[in-house]
Amino acid sequence: MGNPPSAPSPDVVLEVQDLVKYYPVKRGVVFKRTVGQVRAVDGVSLALRRGRTLGLVGESGSGKSTLAKVLVGVEQPTSGRILVDGIDVSAMKRAQRRELRRRIQLVFQDPYTALNPRMPAGEIVGEAYAIHPRLVPKGGRARAVRELFDLVGLNPDHVNRYPHQFSGGQRQRLGIARALAVKPQILICDEPVSALDVSIQGQVINLLERLQDELGLAYLFIAHDLAVVRHIADEVAVMYLGSVVERGTETEVYEQTRHPYTRALMSAVPLPDPSMRHRREEIVLSGDVPSPAAPPSGCRFHTRCWLAPLVAGAASDSADVTIDEPAAVPAVCRTDRPELLPQGPPDHLAACHFAEKLTENTTRAEAAR
């Protein structure tokens, strides 16, 4: 089952089509055999626009980091296509691929473990010049590193300090400087502020926004909650158990939420407009994300969905929805994997059999009707 391919567009710099990454589950001590598959990423389609930010949100274990690793080439996809400037990455020759690795850089989640503690900060930032020697001539590298320090708001006189001599926020600046050293076009930011104090998070996000304006970078900005992404993202994709369940512009996803999972994540986001607050119900999802080694049948969200039982309850005295006892979830939710389909605007997609029940700010009681 594939998501609808997006129309080729010159402003799309990175496109992912039906991307799949399975990890084998092995058993046995001497003779290892594969007994199953962890479906970490299971059919994701996304487009990243030049100079824009796509926010990717989902609980821990939904496959965000795996997707990031496939995009930067650390992991090979099981299937699916990655297109950069419209060119299929799998068809690229070695030299082209090395050039591609330069253009797509990763900013890590944890600035405490991502930096070699025994290397001076300046060497860490300039390390990639050894791999891409033609980028900056040898004699100009020390100056280039100092300029990078300045660019990300670090003191260029601190190039000889070691990572432990920097604060958490400064270390994330180092991580960003290192990614920028090779003059990339795309930054994959995997929860770049999750390990930082809330007071520091805003500074790092502001830095990323300024760098985007100055350098025209495209970002895939990964986070586990919607609040962090709202400020920076132009478009948002919400991932659950290996697939995208909703995606659209920031305004569409936040203000016209059409997937019950997104709605649940949204209920934790502070509302800017106080007059809307009485419309907001807190939705607490029960249980953890199921194992991607044994995902639920049909809609993968049906085991935790708050909407499906309401639809089933409302339909129990009418004949338009088949109810699957004992779970009291409409049968279709247990049997059919919903496709990502347009909801109103063509670029707002949601994968829910009952997405039409969720119109603007419907309360749970209204959705049940």
Sites of contact with ligand ADP (CB under 6 A): 23, 38, 40, 58, 60-66, 292
290: nearest Cα among 2, 63, 30, 27? 63
Number of H helices, E strands in the chain: 12, 14
**252, burial (CB in 10 Å: exposed 0-12, middle 13-18, buried 19+):** buried
Picked from ligand ADP, Mg ion, none, the partner binding residue 262 (CB below 5 to 8 A depending on kind) is: none
Is there binding between residue 66 and Mg ion (CB under 5 A)?
no
- Nearer CB in complex with ligand ADP: 246/324: 246
Q: Which is nearer to Mg ion, 44 or 154 (CB)?
A: 44
Nearer to ligand ADP, 64 or 247 (CB): 64
Tell me if residue 215 falls in helix, strand or coil.
Answer: helix
Shortest spacing between CB 65 and ligand ADP, in angstroms: 3
Measured from the CB atom, the residue of 65 and 212 that comes closer to ligand ADP is 65
State the binding partner of 349 from ligand ADP, Mg ion, none, CB within 5 to 8 A by kind. none
Residue with tokens 């999750």: 194
Among 3, 65, 172, 303, interactor with Mg ion by CB under 5 A: 65
> Min. distance of Cβ 194 from Mg ion in angstroms?
9
What does the alpha-carbon distance between residue 271 and residue 285 come to, in Å, rounded to a whole number?
Answer: 19
Cβ count within 10 A of residue 272: 8
Closest contact distance (angstroms) between CB of 21 and ligand ADP is 8
First-last CA distance in the chain: 30
- Residue pair 240/58 in contact (Cβ under 8 Å)? The answer is yes
Contacts of 189 (CB under 8 A, 6+ apart): 106, 107, 208, 219, 220, 221, 222
* Nearer residue to ligand ADP within complex by CB, 62 or 172: 62
Judged by CB, which is closer to Mg ion: 109, or 170?
A: 109
Residue 23 partner contact from Mg ion, ligand ADP, none using kind-dependent CB cut-offs of 5 to 8 Å? ligand ADP
Give the other-Cβ count within 10 Å of 27's Cβ: 10
Instruction: For residue 201, give both structure tokens.
Output: 């998070």
**Shortest CB 106 distance to ligand ADP, Å:** 13
Q: What is the DSSP string of 95-106?
A: HHHHHHHHHEEE
Give CA–CA dist 214/107, Å, rounded: 18
Contact of residue 62 among ligand ADP, Mg ion, none (CB under 5-8 Å per partner type): ligand ADP
Minimum CB distance to ligand ADP, residue 225 (Å): 12
What is the smallest separation between the CB atom of 280 and Mg ion, expressed in angstroms? 28
Name the one range near Mg ion by CB under 5 A: 57-65, 234-242, 294-302, 314-322: 57-65
Q: Does 62 bind Mg ion (CB under 5 A)?
A: no
Which residues of this protein are in contact with Mg ion, per CB under 5 A? 64-65
